[in-house]
Amino acid sequence: MNTHDIHKLIPILKKQVQGLDVPWLENMVHQDRLNRDPFKVLISCILSLRTQDKTTGEASERLFKLATDVKSMSLLPVKKIEKAIYPVGFYRVKAERIKELCITLIKEYNSRVPDEIDELLKLKGVGRKTANLVITLGYNKPGICVDTHVHRITNRWGYVKTTTPEKTEFALREKLPKRYWLEINGLLVAFGQGICRPVSPMCSSCDIEKFCSKVGVVTHR
């Protein structure tokens, strides 16, 4: 698959994912594009690790009812954060991390979430996926968030040939036209959950099958 194919594929992909479940975080941001909140994106990303999307959304909403900014959240007792975010995965660890993160942002960043990936990566518990989501969804700046879906599908297409999500990110930064950077994660998460599944993808229902090399696909429907 080449860049010419990508230009044909993306519009078809956008139509295909209409009606599929879009990640909760994408929905949250898109509902209020004019008031993007990098802090809420950051906190929701932390909650989402090893947690189902529905649970992440519900926990985030409960927590943001208690505090909506760095300062107010830094004042919440850890136990209160724990209660609000339960049952997200590792909720006790995440509650401690959120509290610590808020204190760090106050002391070192004047209560502002950094808008550069290198600075975000200095924050405890923030990896490249989270950093890119904060950049793209929180600040609407160019970045490529690569989760398991983006890594799996772009390799399955034959568009990149990489072994880890981090290597996929850098490969896509070199190859994927910049106009698609902000939307590729949301599109492929919905597509990966609904159609291009890890095991036995639904190729018979896929509108972009003709572009796909089916790398690593053993069985499909």
- Model confidence pLDDT, tens digit, residues 32-83: 665 689 999 999 999 998 898 899 999 999 999 999 999 999 999 999 999 9
Q: For 185-200, what is the mean pLDDT?
A: 93
* Other CB atoms within 10 Å distance of the CB of residue 27: 13
In this predicted structure, what is the pLDDT of residue 32?
Answer: 64
Does residue 154 sit in helix, strand or coil?
Answer: helix
Q: What's the pLDDT at 189? A: 92
Please name the amino acid found at residue 95. A
Residue labelled with tokens 């002391």: 107
Q: What CA–CA distance (Å, rounded) separates 91 from 161?
A: 35
pLDDT at 27 over 70: yes
Residues 145, 128: Cα–Cα separation, whole Å: 8
C-alpha 201/C-alpha 91 separation (Å) is: 32
Is 39 within 8 Å of 57 (Cβ atoms)?
A: no
What 8-state DSSP symbol labels residue 200? S
**Does residue 51 or residue 1 have the better pLDDT?**
51
Q: pLDDT value at position 35?
A: 61
Q: Which domains, from first to last, does the chain contain?
A: 3-21+144-211 (1.10.1670.10), 37-139 (1.10.340.30)
pLDDT tens digits for range 97-108: 999 999 999 999
Give mean pLDDT, residues 203-208.
Answer: 95
Average of per-residue pLDDT values in the chain? 93
- The pLDDT assigned to 213 comes to 95
> What are the tens digits of pLDDT across the range 118-173?
999 999 999 999 999 999 999 999 999 999 999 999 999 999 999 999 999 999 99
**For 12-21, 86-95, 110-119, 167-176, which range has the lowest pLDDT when averaged over its residues?**
12-21
User: How far apart, in whole angstroms, are the C-alpha atoms of residue 145 and residue 166?
Assistant: 9
- Under a CB-based contact definition with an 8 Å cutoff, are residues 138 and 42 in contact? yes
Report the alpha-carbon distance of residue 121 to residue 132 in Å, rounded: 10
Other Cβ atoms within 10 Å of 44 Cβ, number: 27
207: pLDDT confidence band, cut at 50, 70 and 90? very high
